Structure 1
Amino acid sequence: MSSFAPTNRRLLVLIGSGPGIGVATASLFASKGFSVALLREMPSDSRKTPAKVETFPVDAMDHAELKTALEAVHASLGPPEVVVYNAARVGFSQFGEFTPDELLDDFRINGVGIYVASVWAMPYLVELAATGGRGRHPSFLLSGSGINYSPLPPIFSLSMQKAAQSNLLKSLEQMYGPKGVHVARLDINGFVREDDEVMAPKRCAEQHWRLSQQDKDSWEHVVNVGDMDTLIKGMKAQGMM
């Protein structure tokens, strides 16, 4: 399945990738010498994918399929050093009209998906922390958002899911931080756009990289890109709220 032979390479496992943050993060880590396992619904465009990036098609809404894909990553590329959970359905949800089934679908991606990913990843990250030596930084990172503590009614479902993810990360931090695993989230507070200096995908990728390279004595657990007040003002100005 793989064009790589399993080695002690530095590996990023990126779960959930679109043309924005996911591709930018994969490209940046690849440029830093990492191999990248990109888990996404559709195979990536080989014309835009760095040579060190390998795609594993998966529907993150299907927990069994996600677990199988993660096991395939390990069999093909070995254990991870960094895991970034970036899967989400980013879209509007109207209270009273958004159906219970749609709400469950969102939770399958955000809540169940990150649980499956963390259960898979933590044993490898703990082992790396114990044996990896200097220069290795076992990390479990989330592409989060300030809507986890400041929910927005037009995206109430995603706000709920981000709150659940944040809660789980706090548990993971308590359980695995003492064992040497850096657990952190990047709060993306705005609409990601290439033409926005603050909210560009490249900027988000750079923060993922920076978090992943922190030594234990300088760990940050929450980093912000963008500002919630600015996001809210912008949504009101555009009639979204």
Structure 2
Amino acid sequence: MGSTRGALVVVGSGPGIGSHVARTFSSHGFTRIILLSRDPSRLEEDAKFIRSETPSADISTLAIDLSKTSEIASALAQVDKALNDTPIEVVLFNAARVGPSTLVSWPMEELELDLRIKVTGCYAVAQWAIPKLLAVKNTHKPAFLCTSGSIYKDPIPEVFSLSVCKAGQHNLVHSIHKKYKEEGVYCGLVVVGGVVGDDRPQCNAENIANKTWALYEERSDLEVEILDG
């Protein structure tokens, strides 16, 4: 196993889980980090947050809108360019659109948009990432990680669109896990069973980030579930 970490790529950075996971991984030697978000205005704040833990971190920020499937390939090509010769070691897929959705009256187009971001987008990133992760299996600890929620198995009607997407996403990542675990790439799910907030005893971003690191290090189970109460 190589002594030098590869890059961490966070798809769906933000002030919650995404930036906290990146900061935690940076404290464990991941100093080459690529942050992607559809909201480029907050990416620099995320980078500053990570550097507060690891001042030497080499961080690139790029905009990506997973709802525009025709633009995903070109956005990921920009990641390749930014990485230069640094191999990817870990990808965290954390992209989501969170909000209420009312059954029957929720427009079909909105459900399709959510599916493009959370399921089709996850698949597109996996298509791009898995070959790169396989290529470093003998020198690094490659992993494809995805944040999820307990609603994949216990849906909430008031956020049915998110529930449907998390179920599809869980199925997809489970399939990737079955296919590639024996080939040397670990795939795992971080299942958050509640609303993320600083005041939550377990479902706070820092604890979720620590659990994500433990899941990555242990590499034994498909998922870790984080619950309050």
**How would you bin the TM-score normalised by the shorter chain?**
0.7 to 0.9
Give the conservation status (yes or no) of the 8 Å contact 1:16–1:60.
no
Question: What corresponds to 2:202 in structure 1?
Answer: 198
- What letter corresponds to residue 108 of structure 1 in structure 2? R
Is residue 67 of structure 2 the alignment partner of residue 41 of structure 1? no
Report SS of the residue matched to 1:167. Answer: helix
The two structures have a TM-score, normalised by structure 2, of 0.88
Question: How far apart, CA to CA, are the structure 1 residues paired with 2:48 and 2:215?
Answer: 28
Gaps of 5+ in 1: 1-7, 231-241
Asked if structure 1 preserves the Cα contact closer than 8 Å seen for 2:174 and 2:222, the reply is: no
Which residue number corresponds to residue 238 of structure 1?
A: none
Measure how far apart 1:41 and its partner are.
1.6
Paired position in structure 2 for 1:236: none
1:108 equivalenced with 2:104 (yes/no)? no
Runs (4 or more) in structure 1 with deviation over 4 Å come to: none
2:98 to 83, 86, 90: 90
- Counterpart residue identity of residue 23, structure 2: S
Structure 2 counterpart of 1:128, from 124, 127, 136: 136
Aligned-pair identity in percent equals 35
RMSD, aligned CA = 1.6
1:53 match: secondary structure: strand
Could you tell me how far 1:36 is from its partner in structure 2? 1.2
- What's the TM-score once normalised by structure 1's chain length? 0.84
Segment of structure 1 superposing worse, 91-100 or 43-52: 43-52
Q: 2:101 is aligned with what amino acid?
A: S
Post-superposition offset of 1:64: 3.0
Q: Structure 2: which amino acid aligns with 1:70?
A: L
1:151 offset after TM fit, Å?
Answer: 0.7
Q: 2:89 aligns with which of 81, 85, 93?
A: 81
Paired positions, count:
214
The alignment status of 1:138 with 2:142, answered yes or no, reads yes
Q: Is the 8 A contact 2:215 2:223 kept in 1?
A: no
The equivalent residue for 2:72 is 66
SS at match of 2:136: helix
Separation of aligned partners in 2, 1:79 and 1:66: 20
Structure-1 separation of matches of 2:146 and 2:48: 27
**Deviation of the 1:42 alpha carbon:** 2.5
